Amino acid sequence: MTRAKQVYRLPRWRFAVICCALAALAATLMGRLVLLQVTDGGQGAVFLREQGALRTVRTAEIPVYRGLIEDRNGTPLAVSSPVVSLWANPQQLKDSPRLENLAARLSLDAAALRDKLRFYGDKQFMYLARHQTPDFARQVLRENFPGVRGEREYRRYYPAGEVTAQLLGLTNVDGHGIAGVELAFEDWLQGVSGKKRFIKDLHGDAVRDVGVIEEPRPGKALALSLDLRLQYAQHRELQRAMKETGAIAGSAITLDAWTGEVLAVSNYPVFNPNSRDALDFSGARNRALTDAYEPGSTIKTLTLVAALESGQFHIDSIIDTAPGRIRVGAKMLHDPRIMARYRYQR
């Protein structure tokens, strides 16, 4: 004995309700798409434009020129020259078969370059060589190594080299003062970088500038009381004296007796601030300003001048210094060579 199958039929009204609900949902989705993609004035369109801009428009710094340092006669002592820093996108370069060619072109160790690319593997930026000459950078970029690009920067150059090294100091690779006048007047010399917007492609390359957001403000020029001609002459004399005496270090300062202005400051040993690859900081100390020393006989000139200006002595006066000692406070000071009478002409 068999039982007839029972078939359940959906009421027509319920089927109609489901169809209407699906149609309404589809209409809502279509309307939303039209609002977002076609209509220009809706919030959705604004949102999409902003999201698109975030993915294609970037902000970059505009490098700024560091202020010139010059002597009292307007002779340049420190200038900023344009250079190009080469960088790469590790994600595009790390698997390139031309990696060894690039390393040889930049005088880099290929194995070390591979290790560096692996270290920056999840990044899109890595410096390859900083502060290259524009001609050399153009030659490298012309070879179209994958992911290799260049950006303009400035490098500090000191025309007088070691002659003014300790006084002027130097800047680091990013152009900020780290010693000497460069550090002391950092805020005055540095300036403010500008900002610009640019459109990038899928590889991160700039394809078109959109506009300048903020104009760069170059650093201000700085004029010192230094006279470069006297500085050179004093530098030569100090070197000569060092050779004659066999001293390991020395300093010399020339001042304007009337104004107190510093006209020249020399130190030894020295270093060349323009040779960053072989920079030796053992000669970077400005001994004339940082080292303590006993004035000794150098104070005698000031004492004699003060005596003459007092009006109580003249150029032919004889000063009795016997018995060669004097008490100053709790200490007795002795003259190493007793001279009963001292004449100005000596």
Tell which wins on pLDDT, 339 or 84.
Answer: 84
* pLDDT on residue 101: 92
Distance CA 112, CA 118 (A): 10
Confidence of residue 234 (pLDDT cuts 50, 70, 90): very high
Residue 274 sits at the vertex; the CA angle it makes with 230 and 218, to the nearest 5 degrees, is: 85
Confidence of residue 231 (pLDDT cuts 50, 70, 90): very high
Gyration radius of the chain over CA positions:
38
In sequence order, which residues have a C-beta less than 8 Å from that of residue 97 and are 6 or more positions away?
none
Distance CA 77, CA 170 (A): 11
Top-ranked range on mean pLDDT: pick from 222-231, 249-258, 299-308 = 222-231
Residue whose C-alpha is closest to residue 174's, from 159, 155, 187, 158: 155
* Class for the domain spanning 60-222: alpha beta
Distance CA 272, CA 161 (A): 6
DSSP states of 245-270:
HT-S-EEEEEE-TTT--EEEEEEES-
* pLDDT on residue 44: 59
Confidence of residue 3 (pLDDT cuts 50, 70, 90): low
Distance CA 271, CA 169 (A): 10
Residue 96 parent element (H or E) = none
Confidence of residue 230 (pLDDT cuts 50, 70, 90): very high
Residue whose C-alpha is closest to residue 134's, from 156, 152, 148: 152
Residue 344 parent element (H or E) = none
pLDDT tens digits, 104-126 = 999 999 999 999 999 988 888 89
As separate numbers, helices (DSSP H) first and strands (DSSP E) second, the chain gives 12, 16
pLDDT tens digits, 167-177 = 999 999 889 99
In sequence order, which residues have a C-beta less than 8 Å from that of residue 279 and are 6 or more positions away?
271, 272, 273
Tell which wins on pLDDT, 151 or 225.
Answer: 225
Tell which wins on pLDDT, 220 or 207.
Answer: 220
The residues spanned by each domain of the chain are 60-222, 228-289, 298-343
For residue 338, pLDDT over 90 is answered with no
Third-level CATH fold of 228-289: Beta-Lactamase (3.30.450)
Distance CA 23, CA 46 (A): 28
Task: Give percent of the chain above pLDDT 90.
Answer: 42
Question: If you average pLDDT over every residue of the chain, what do you get?
Answer: 83
Confidence of residue 91 (pLDDT cuts 50, 70, 90): confident
Distance CA 231, CA 165 (A): 11
The lowest-confidence range among 22-36, 37-51, 100-114, 327-341 is 37-51
For residue 266, pLDDT over 90 is answered with yes
Distance CA 202, CA 171 (A): 36
The lowest-confidence range among 67-81, 204-218, 311-325 is 204-218
* pLDDT on residue 156: 94
Residue whose C-alpha is closest to residue 284's, from 296, 298, 268, 307: 268
User: Among this protein's residues, is 297 annotated catalytic?
Assistant: yes
Residues 62 and 195: beta-carbon distance below 8 Å: yes
Tell which wins on pLDDT, 211 or 345.
Answer: 211
Q: Which of 225, 297, 310, 317 is catalytic?
A: 297
* pLDDT on residue 147: 87
Distance CA 39, CA 44 (A): 9
pTM of the shown model: 0.68
